[in-house]
Amino acid sequence: MKKGLWSLLLALLLLWSFSLPTFASPTAVLSQAQGSTSESLAQSNCPRQLQSPIASEPLAAAISINPEVLPRIGVARIRSGILPGVVIGGHHEGVLKILQQRYTASGQLDEQLEDAALQAIEDELVDAGYNVGRSEQHSVFDEQLMEESEPVRFLVGGKITKVELNSYSSFFNSRTADQRTIQWEIFDRDTNKVIVRQATTGQAEAEGIDNPAATYEAIRASFKTLLAQPSFTTSLQQAVGRDLAPTSAKTYQIAALPSSQLPLSTEQIASHTIPSVVWIRTPTGRGTGFVIDSSGLILTNQHVVGSSFSVKVKLYDGSTQTGRVLKRNAAFDVALVKLEGDVSHIPALPIADLSAVKVGEEVVAIGNPIAYSNTVTKGIVSGIRTIGSRDLIQTDVAINPGNSGGPLLNQQGAVIGIVTEKMVSRGIEGLGFALPISESLQNLDVFVKPSRSVGSMAM
């Protein structure tokens, strides 16, 4: 009887040992991470070892990525799409893997785990040959690195839609197995649209109970599966277009326009200027801009356009056009936007010589503060200041949120600066600042083309 019992126990032990899948050590867990597309996962509801389609050769060589064609790409975030309280797995013990505890979703991804996963995704993109923007944010020298002036055009993000998280322990060992299906999306800031939407599944195992390394590698495996899809790079290349030349190195010329040689009244300045002032809107904010050339070029602040590649521009007549951000200079806080629609009816503003700016002279600002469009305020030039690396025109003209990017004009109706900021604190009033127009244009590689006959502006 005892011999039969021991034989039965030995048989069960051998059966259990052969049924255990192999798992990696903490130093080799990446080699066990594998991925699949969501279509192949649908063939079975059971956790299984998925065959990875990832080739051993570098992805860049496999699909001929041209770094000059693809703009920089960045990683946004990974969020959970699982409702809080949903059962996603559990802890199992013993030879028979008896369920001891159920795991339920919290509804969000741990912040440190998400940051580690985002860094892993950036690393995968770099290894695949992509030009990844802001990857230095994970550098130990991140505090010494300056913010990039040109934001990435494409953003990658993911939403976790399915999770199978289980841990197993016995007298011999313990392990954590994680399988995640993630809906990946690529967002194009130029069109403000999602151009790729695809779900892939990744799984991984790691030693120990509740080891987050399994989750980390499952997310990485899911993204590597996405990278292996030819549609990933094809969609980016189609969005950019091979004939689209980079604009960062371009220079622009604008025509010199006449301004009045006699001082104008505030009413005259406003009536002439307001049709050239526009309202700029982005997904994250709004501000002011003004037309500087008959081709539809607009000047504004970089902090108005933010990281957008295209913006909505509301004109004086109430119509709205799309504006494409051609250039930006974050250090000087200026940006150049080009209207894409009909601009024949939009007048441009004359540009003043900065040397003509005098402390104490009267100036006018026009902008769109709060919800009040084309607001006109008047003051004087309080001083010419150097703050940091920038020269600024100090003025007591009333400036409020929404005024940013608007013109500051002299009494001849010419632009002397771009309204950019004000000091706000208890006891501080009338401390506004504008960027000198000549330096603003220079920092965007915009040059005023001299005209043979620049007369007085007709009023």
The catalytic residues are 303, 333, 404
The encoded tokens of residue 164 equal: 């199978």
Cα–Cα distances (Å) from 289 to 389, 395, 406, in that order, read: 23, 19, 5
Helix ranges (H only) for 20-168 are 38-41, 59-63, 111-127
Q: Cα–Cα distance between 415 and 366 in angstroms, integer?
A: 11
SS3 46: coil
Quick check: 132 and 122 in contact, CB under 8 A? yes
Q: Cα–Cα distance between 344 and 90 in angstroms, integer?
A: 67
Q: Cα–Cα distance between 281 and 123 in angstroms, integer?
A: 34
Helix ranges (H only) for 253-313 are 266-273, 302-305
In eight-state DSSP terms, residue 275 is G
Q: Cα–Cα distance between 227 and 88 in angstroms, integer?
A: 26
Q: Cα–Cα distance between 286 and 307 in angstroms, integer?
A: 13
CB atoms within 10 A of CB 229: 17
Residue 153: name the closest of 73, 39, 214, 64 by CA: 73
Quick check: 302 and 329 in contact, CB under 8 A? yes
CA 323, 325, 330, 335 torsion-angle sign: negative
**74 strand-pairing partners:** 155
Q: Cα–Cα distance between 24 and 21 in angstroms, integer?
A: 10
Q: Cα–Cα distance between 106 and 115 in angstroms, integer?
A: 17
Cα–Cα distances (Å) from 101 to 92, 104, 179, 210, 250, in that order, read: 7, 10, 18, 12, 62
**199 strand-pairing partners:** 183
- Per DSSP bridges, beta strands 390-395 and 174-188 are unpaired
SS3 1: coil
